[in-house]
Each structure stands twice: as C-alpha cells, then as structure tokens.
C-alpha cells in the first residue's frame, strides 16, 4: 500500500469556498476512483492550504485511477473549472509507510 499526499495552496480568502466546492462536488466524484485517508486545512503555519491523503495499492493502480478521473465528464465540467480557478499551487508526494507505521 502507498499513499499520495496532495497539498494545495488556495487563493487568500477562498479556503471556505474551496472546502465547500470539494465536499459537495469534488469528493463524490473522486471517491469513485480513490480512497480518501484524511483531509485537512491549515490554521497555523503556512496558511491557505489544504492537505489530503489518498490510498492506492500500487503506482499502476494510481495511474489507472487518475487517468479515469481525468476523463470523467463530471470532474471536467463540474469540479475543475471552479476549483482550479481558486488554486495558487499544487504539490503531490508519493509516500510509502515504514514497517512501524500505524497506517500500512
């Protein structure tokens, strides 16, 4: 099992709008393609960020699921136009659990 941590920097003053849009539009769509492990937003430190972690069985599974998501008409037409207009920056990291990690 491995995990993808995605960190998005949101335009100042738009975090609540992004949270609402993701919860109501994005999450129902992306949940068909990936398993959500956790989703957070920042209040201390670097502000205006959301961090989410997704679980995949393999890099091949991630590739297949992401390709399918990028072809999903609802994702393309209902989520992406508004969401991408709110984002400043995106970062993605693939993470593998250590043997002693509580999450495997």
pLDDT at 77 over 90: yes
12 belongs to a structural domain: yes
pTM of the model: 0.89
CATH number at residue 32: 3.30.70.100
102 belongs to a structural domain: no
Distances in whole angstroms, Cα of residue 8 to Cα of each of 25, 55, 73, 98 = 17, 18, 22, 25
103 belongs to a structural domain: no
Residues above pLDDT 90, as percent of the chain: 92
Count of domains observed in the chain: 1
18 belongs to a structural domain: yes
Return the half-sphere exposure (C-beta side, CA atoms, 13 A cut-off) of residue 1.
14
47 belongs to a structural domain: yes
Distance CA 46, CA 4 (A): 20
Distance CA 33, CA 31 (A): 5
104 belongs to a structural domain: no
Question: Average pLDDT in the 8-15 region?
Answer: 96
Element (H, E) at 67: helix 59-71
Residue 59 domain boundaries: 2-95
100 belongs to a structural domain: no
101 belongs to a structural domain: no
């Amino acid at each position: 099992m491995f995990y993808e941590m995605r960190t998005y920097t949101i335009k100042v003053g738009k975090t609540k709008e992004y949270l609402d849009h993701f919860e109501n539009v994005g999450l129902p769509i992306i949940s068909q393609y990936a398993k959500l492990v956790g989703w957070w937003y920042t209040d201390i430190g670097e502000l205006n960020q959301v961090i989410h972690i997704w679980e995949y069985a393999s890099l091949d599974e991630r590739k297949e699921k992401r390709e399918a998501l990028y072809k999903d008409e609802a994702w393309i037409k209902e989520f992406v136009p508004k969401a991408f207009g709110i984002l400043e920056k995106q970062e993605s990291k693939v993470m593998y659990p250590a043997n002693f990690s509580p999450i495997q």
